[in-house]
């Protein structure tokens, strides 16, 4: 128990405890910060929803005005950028949630280790109590033996005094009494020696008993402090579990709203494409115009790219959309066995532009060859009806 108390006072242990306390404070600060981020994210989603409704109303009005098509496209791009920002914030919130789950697991492991240490301290306290009881029994036996020796000493002294009184009246028994006195003196010396040994042993036992009592008191104090730490850790774990549950419910409530916003944005993008197609069909083609032809392609192979759509417009613009509705658009050139994509807007991830990809183009498919920097290498796009 003394070793445990000394170990808890070592600088390294104190440093670890201070670092643990600082970690818990940082965790609380992170939770408060994440709560503020969730509220800000809800506010931004409400703002995006209001802006989406305004964009829908503006789009309905601009369908009647062919000259305002570029304004609608810019408005849609801005909403897409805000949606990408909301998705990034949601991803950051998910990462924060995973980090807090890891901290909760670490706190549970620390609590389990502390509980094991408490059990060990309780066992050592029981052993110390048993030792104290055994020493108390030995002390009682020694005291009984000392009392017996004292009675023998008193008896010898009485007999010696009686012999001295009888010496005056019975000189004939002097020799016998002298022998008895010598034996009594030897017995007295032996008894005194045993009494001194017993006293020394009793003093040693008393010192050992005091030390064991002090150790038992220190162990009980350590046990009380450790139990308090266990109670505090248990309370902190319960609070953290409640906070994590509430945070997870907020994430679950937020995810459908983001998905609904993504779906609505995809529907509005498709509606804008329809408007562009109707406007293009109503505008007569100029003589000597572009030789590009509007075509749509789709990946039909299995894998992550399945359902990826590529639209090449006759105005030199392209659009690429995956199954989730995420869209990328920009300018393109096709010819000489190469497809060059540039001026790209939308979610591009780690891809860099302008992007040049070798292609094989025929009437039914568009096959992308392998090239450095080409993010769609190896895909085969079939003509979509």
The SS3 call for residue 302 is coil
For the chain, give the percent of residues with pLDDT over 90: 8
Question: 203: pLDDT confidence band, cut at 50, 70 and 90?
Answer: confident
Q: Which pTM was predicted?
A: 0.27
Lowest mean pLDDT: which of 244-248, 297-301, 321-325, 331-335? 244-248
Find which of 85-94, 218-227, 323-332 is predicted with most confidence, using mean pLDDT: 323-332
> Greater confidence, 59 or 263?
263
According to the model, what pLDDT value does residue 186 have? Answer: 80
According to the model, what pLDDT value does residue 331 have? Answer: 95
Task: List phi, psi (to 5°) of 304.
Answer: -65, -30
Domain at 295-383: CATH architecture? Beta Barrel (2.40)
* Mean confidence (pLDDT) of the chain: 77
- Residue among 192, 193, 166, 194 at smallest CA distance from 180: 166
> Greater confidence, 287 or 152?
152
According to the model, what pLDDT value does residue 289 have? Answer: 37
What's the average model confidence in pLDDT over 356-371? 89
Angle at 12 (CA atoms; ends 11, 14), nearest 5 degrees:
65
Q: Convert the pLDDT of each residue in 54-79 to its tens digit.
A: 877 876 776 666 565 676 677 778 87
According to the model, what pLDDT value does residue 341 have? Answer: 93
Q: Which long-range contacts (CB under 8 A, 24 or more apart) does 56-65 make?
A: 56/268, 59/268, 59/271, 59/272, 59/275, 62/275, 63/275
What's the average model confidence in pLDDT over 13-32? 74
- Residue among 256, 240, 321 at smallest CA distance from 28: 240
Structure token pair of residue 359:
């292609």
Is residue 287 pLDDT above 60, yes or no? Answer: no
Q: Where are the domains of the chain?
A: 2-154+206-269, 295-383
CA distance 81 to 102: 32
Is residue 368 pLDDT above 80, yes or no? Answer: yes
């Amino acid at each position: 128990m003394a070793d445990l108390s000394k170990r808890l006072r070592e600088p390294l242990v104190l440093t670890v405890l201070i670092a643990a306390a600082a970690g818990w404070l940082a965790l609380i600060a992170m939770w408060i910060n994440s709560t503020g981020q969730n509220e800000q994210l809800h506010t931004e989603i409400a703002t995006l929803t209001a802006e989406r409704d305004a964009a829908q109303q503006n789009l309905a009005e601009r369908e009647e005005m062919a000259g305002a098509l570029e304004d609608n496209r810019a408005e849609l791009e801005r909403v897409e950028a805000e949606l990408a920002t909301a998705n990034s914030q949601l991803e950051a919130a998910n990462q924060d949630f995973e980090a807090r789950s890891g901290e909760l697991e670490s706190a549970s492991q620390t609590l389990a280790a502390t509980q094991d240490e408490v059990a060990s301290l309780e066992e050592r306290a029981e052993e110390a109590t048993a030792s104290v009881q055994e020493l108390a029994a030995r002390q009682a036996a020694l005291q009984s033996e000392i009392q017996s020796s004292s009675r023998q000493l008193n008896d010898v002294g009485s007999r010696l005094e009686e012999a001295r009184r009888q010496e005056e009246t019975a000189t004939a028994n002097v020799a016998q009494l002298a022998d008895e006195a010598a034996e009594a003196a030897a017995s007295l010396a032996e008894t005194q020696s045993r009494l001194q040994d017993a006293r020394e042993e009793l003093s040693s036992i008393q010192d050992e008993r005091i030390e064991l009592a002090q150790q038992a008191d220190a162990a009980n104090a350590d046990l009380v402090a450790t139990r308090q730490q266990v109670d505090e850790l248990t309370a902190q774990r319960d609070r953290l579990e409640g906070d994590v549950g509430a945070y997870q419910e907020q994430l679950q409530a937020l995810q459908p709203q983001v998905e609904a916003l993504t779906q609505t944005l995809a529907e509005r993008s498709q509606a804008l494409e329809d408007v562009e197609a109707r406007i293009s069909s109503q505008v007569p083609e100029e003589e000597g115009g572009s030789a590009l032809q509007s075509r749509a392609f789709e990946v039909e192979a299995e894998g992550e790219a399945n359902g990826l759509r590529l639209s090449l417009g006759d105005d030199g613009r392209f659009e690429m959309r995956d199954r989730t509705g995420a869209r990328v658009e920009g300018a393109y050139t096709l010819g000489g066995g190469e497809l060059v994509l540039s001026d790209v807007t939308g979610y591009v991830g780690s891809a860099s532009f302008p992007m040049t990809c070798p292609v094989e183009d025929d009437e039914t498919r568009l096959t992308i060859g392998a090239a450095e920097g080409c993010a769609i290498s190896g895909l085969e796009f079939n003509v979509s009806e």
